[in-house]
Amino acid sequence: MTLSTQPYKGARDFYPQDKRLQKYMFGKWREVVEHFGYEEYDAPILEPLEIYLAKSGEEIVNEQTYSFEDRGGRKVAIRPEMTPTVSRMVAAKRQELAYPLRWYSIPNLWRYERPQKGRLREHWQLNVDIFGVKETGAELEMIMLVNEVFKAFDAKPDMYEIRLNHRSLVDYSLADYLELDAKTRQAVGKLIDRMHKMSRPDFISKVDEILPAAQKAAGTTEKLLDLLDAKKLADLPAEVQKQPAAQELKNLLDNLKSLGINHATFDVTLMRGLDYYTGIVFEVFDTDPENNRSMLGGGRYDGLVGLFGVAPVPTVGFGWGDVTLANFLKIHHLLPQLPAETDVWVALVGDVLEQSQPIITALRHEGLNVAVDLSGRKLGDQFKTADKKGIEQVLIIGETELQKQLFTLKNLETGKEKKQNLNDVVSNIKTHRSIK
């Protein structure tokens, strides 16, 4: 039987070129998030299955989680998301941690489902959470942070759109304003979540299917449509606008505006699937029609830490997947030319490896990344190899160089080369590196 060279379904191999892109993305993520004072943490990739059962939503756990039983009969899951894990960690040290707590992580997550565009079985996700702040200053900081990350990738404000909603506002609208019972609320909520995927008549007929006859007769459908047509908070019915949740949203949007973040808007249809959100929720969408999907999402979940048997801790957080970020960067031409990790390729002429080692070592001690062509092939072939690897600088060492202690440093891009002493070699490579 021949073994397949393909990676496991829905998962990716990261060849150095791919890993380089990942390192670039993660590097920006870390940089910006740490500028906001967030600290990195990590945790096991395996968790007891139960921690996902409580609040993630039934179907997610039952059908979309990699889970198994270990040899001791324990039910184990490969983590499909980070939020329960970080909540567990905070709960475990609830008393001794210093709040507000700002934590982030870039875990590798797995979900068992059919792969599709922008959604694989495996992905990496930036998770940023702030614990211990019940005021909307936490939400404000999160959205500013997200916006700064986009800036760090050179994205312009018209490339993405920040949409906000509030769970309590949704709950009030559906339960009190429209007077829907719990079951109908859930069905209507799911329908709203995907209303932009269908035509209006379709949506209306689906709503009519869900609503109890009495309510349909009482004009609830029209009332709902009217509500969903609100493009801004001021369009909402007066009694909905009076809700504290609406005020919270208004304040947040005003604050964002005064900070120059104008592409954040209220979106009454924004639902987010997870059951654990309790307050403001937000998502960021790519404005490119080719990639019109949610890139990241999050919100307030004040109840999750408390599930672990301690007093609740107010929390705001979001997750941002690497696949969706990469798609965004690609479609907006924001992917930079990423240089090779290696600064210089050493091409040897003749049997001079041993004599060259002190020089190579000296370069490394100078902080340079140096790879040696050990093949003994013709110089031209050694150049080809360096070129193929994307390494621009080649240092040629042969008998003549060793005798005179003058080395030939060649730039493969310009084709220029020059004999120089070791100090100049070092400074030239460093200068060249810093230009990139």
Instruction: Give the interface size with RNA as a residue count (CB under 7 A).
Output: 54
Does 432 help bind RNA (rule: CB under 7 A)?
no
Stretch that binds RNA, among 19-27, 167-175, 177-185, 414-422 (CB under 7 A): 414-422
Among 23, 119, 250, 432, binds RNA (CB under 7 A): 119
- Asked if 365 interacts with RNA (CB under 7 A), we say no
**Among 125, 173, 215, 243, which residue sits at the site for RNA (rule: CB under 7 A)?**
125
The β-bridge partners of 433 are: none
- Residue 35 binding RNA, by CB under 7 A: no
279 lies in the site for RNA, by CB under 7 A: no
Look at residue 333 and give its three-state secondary structure: coil
What distance in Å separates the CA atoms of residue 318 and residue 311, rounded to the nearest whole number? 22
User: Which one-letter DSSP state was computed for residue 395?
Assistant: E
At 163, which helix (H) or strand (E)? Answer: strand 160-166
Instruction: List binders of RNA among 372-411 (CB under 7 A).
Output: 378-381, 383-384, 387-388, 396, 398-401, 408, 410
Window 287-326: residues binding RNA (CB under 7 A): 294, 297, 319, 321
- CA distances to 119, 218, 236, 407, 430 from 420, rounded to whole Å, are 52, 89, 74, 5, 14
For 113, residues 6+ apart whose C-beta sits below 8 A from its C-beta are 10, 63, 64, 119, 121
When asked if residue 115 is in the footprint of RNA (CB under 7 A), the reply is yes
Q: Which is nearer to RNA, 156 or 183 (CB)?
A: 183
Residue 96 buriedness (CB in 10 A; 0-12 / 13-18 / 19+): exposed
Q: Does 269 bind RNA (CB under 7 A)?
A: no
DSSP three-state, residue 171: helix
- Shortest distance (Å) from residue 341 CB to RNA: 18
Q: What is the full DSSP assignment across 39-65?
A: EE----SEEETHHHHTTS-HHHHHHHS
Could you say whether residue 6 binds RNA (CB under 7 A)?
Answer: yes
Handedness of CA 323, 292, 272, 58 (dihedral sign): negative
Residue 57 in the binding site for RNA (CB under 7 A): yes
Question: Is 122 a residue that touches RNA (CB under 7 A)?
Answer: no
Is 194 a binding residue for RNA by CB under 7 A? The answer is: yes
Q: How many CA atoms lie within 13 A of 57 on its CB side?
A: 15
Which residues bind to RNA, rule: CB under 7 A? 6, 9-10, 52, 56-57, 59-61, 64-65, 80-81, 109, 111, 113-117, 119, 125, 190, 193-194, 197, 272-274, 294, 297, 319, 321, 349, 378-381, 383-384, 387-388, 396, 398-401, 408, 410, 412-415, 417
